[in-house]
Homo-oligomer: A and B are copies of this chain.
């Protein structure tokens, strides 16, 4: 791990930070954080899922974040120090945040090699890295970090406290809220894939809309989000998008969604709030996915999905039905043989 060599806290201090209940020796020194299997004796770790009870039993970590309300008994681990919290994983995230402090030197100030149009407005405390290009009438809020090689198109707005990693491209008129994180190589505002096909030739439909990203969104590396034909392609606040996702023109995504790698969302489809789209899910255009729906990995959606529904398969069916079919597929050879026997016995003429 890449922990700063200078980090050191006691179990007691950590318990106070995460507002947890200390059970064991509070004077133990913590110098880093790691998973149960990777931890050394000086790392803090966390346990939140009974599935990992064996890892807990074998961990070298001496200080452990555990749930206030345990599902089942802890193994007897003499000498361990426990810190009991409501959400061990979140408490662990808080410790990682402390370790993360000072780990990286983000760009500071305006690099002399940044290329900034005189009409662009850069907020107080905002940094712009080497070779970044900020076009005319672009606006960036306060305390945002624009890494090297980022391209910010004309009239594009970036809010405050954003983190934009190297080589991100935000084409013209893109609108980014506050506290948005954009991974390296992500592209927002590329042309939507729209053509009018006349006598076999595909004629380009100009894409003059834009992309609008709300507050607290995170966007992964090499993601592509196309601008709308007219109007907006929208991502709602708090939604987290993994690497290499594709969001087509005029798609609207709600709040607090999870969209995993290689998901492809076709044009004008509407995704509700708190929807989970697992890896490699694809969906056709012009459909609606209701609030809280969950689509399992590699599924293909061809129709609307009701709120809260769990879908699976290509094409997707309700999860229970899809799993039943999967189970029966395993019995297909046996079914075929039985049918052959019955046919031979009762339908010999066929």
Q: Please give, as numbers and ranges, the residues of chain B lying within 8 Å of A226 by CB-CB distance.
A: 221, 243
Check: A333 CB closer than 8 A to any chain B CB.
yes
A90 vs B202: C-alpha distance when bound (angstroms): 10
Q: Please give, as numbers and ranges, the residues of chain B lying within 8 Å of A73 by CB-CB distance.
A: none
Among A20-28, A74-82, A162-170, A303-311, the one that faces the other chain is A162-170
**Mask of A259-293 contacts with B, CB within 8 angstroms, 1/0:** 01110101000000010000110101000000000
A262-B264, A282-B297 as given contacts; A329 in contact with B335, CB under 8 Å: no
The 10 closest A-B pairs by CB, nearest first: A190-B221, A96-B206, A90-B196, A224-B243, A93-B205, A100-B206, A221-B224, A89-B196, A151-B166, A38-B231
Interface centre among A103, A183, A246, A298 (most CB of B within 10 A): A246
A298 vs B316: C-alpha distance when bound (angstroms): 12
Q: Please give, as numbers and ranges, the residues of chain B lying within 8 Å of A193 by CB-CB distance.
A: 220, 240, 242-243, 260-261
A203 touches B343 (CB 8 A): no
B154 touches A131 (CB 8 A): no
Mark A residues whose CB is within 8 Å of B: 1-3, 32-35, 38, 43, 87, 89-90, 92-93, 96-97, 99-100, 103-105, 111, 113, 115, 129-131, 133, 135-136, 147-149, 151, 153-155, 165-167, 169, 171-173, 181, 183-185, 187, 190-191, 193, 195-196, 198, 200-210, 218, 220-222, 224, 226, 229-231, 238, 240, 242-244, 246, 248, 250, 256, 258, 260-262, 264, 266, 274, 279-280, 282, 284, 297-298, 300, 314-315, 317, 321, 324-326, 328-333, 335-336, 338-339, 341-343, 345-347, 350
Among candidates B196, B221, B333, residue contacting A93 with C-beta atoms closer than 8 Å: B196
A262 touches B282 (CB 8 A): yes
